[in-house]
Amino acid sequence: MLDAGEIDVAIDECRWLLSGCSDCLEAHRILGEIALGENDLPLARGHFGYAYRLGAKALEQAHSQGPLLYRVPANRSFLESAKALAWCLKQLGKGEMAAEVVEFLLRCDPSDPLGVKRLGDEPHA
């Protein structure tokens, strides 16, 4: 839907998904991306933050000690949401919180395929 430019339809579909399952990480990621496209950083932060908390909570409940590699397709939505959250936080002047998310991401996948180390070098808005 997004590729076809049907943003309103995508928003409606994601909201419908969330009405049945508020913990749909992928729907929050998509809504966060749409909010970024509309330059609504607080809303984007909210959706990416919710997705991040969902994934972090799942990892905690699973007592996961191993890496969470980006090359595994099932991990991508969570890791992309976390990176986007860190970026939003940095843009909103919350550098310390952004650094915590970046640190978590680097523990998940030390090879840094999403280039989150660079977030620490970018100036904020």
Q: Which CATH number goes with the domain that contains 105?
A: 1.25.40.10
DSSP state of 2: T
Residue 18 lies in a domain: yes
pLDDT at 115: 95
Residue 114 lies in a domain: yes
Residue 125 lies in a domain: no
Residue 1 lies in a domain: no
Both tokens assigned to 40: 């609504």
Q: How confident is the model over 15-21, as a mean pLDDT?
A: 89
**Residues 6 or more apart whose Cβ sits within 8 Å of residue 124:** 90, 91, 92, 93, 95
pLDDT at 119: 84
pLDDT at 48: 98
At residue 92 the predicted structure's pLDDT band, cuts being 50, 70 and 90, is very high
Instruction: Provide the domain count of the chain.
Output: 1
Residue 31 lies in a domain: yes
Q: How confident is the model over 11-20, as a mean pLDDT?
A: 88
Residue 73 lies in a domain: yes
pLDDT at 123: 59
Range of 105's domain?
7-120
At residue 5 the predicted structure's pLDDT band, cuts being 50, 70 and 90, is low
Residue 91 lies in a domain: yes
Distance CA 94, CA 42 (A): 12
Residue 49 lies in a domain: yes
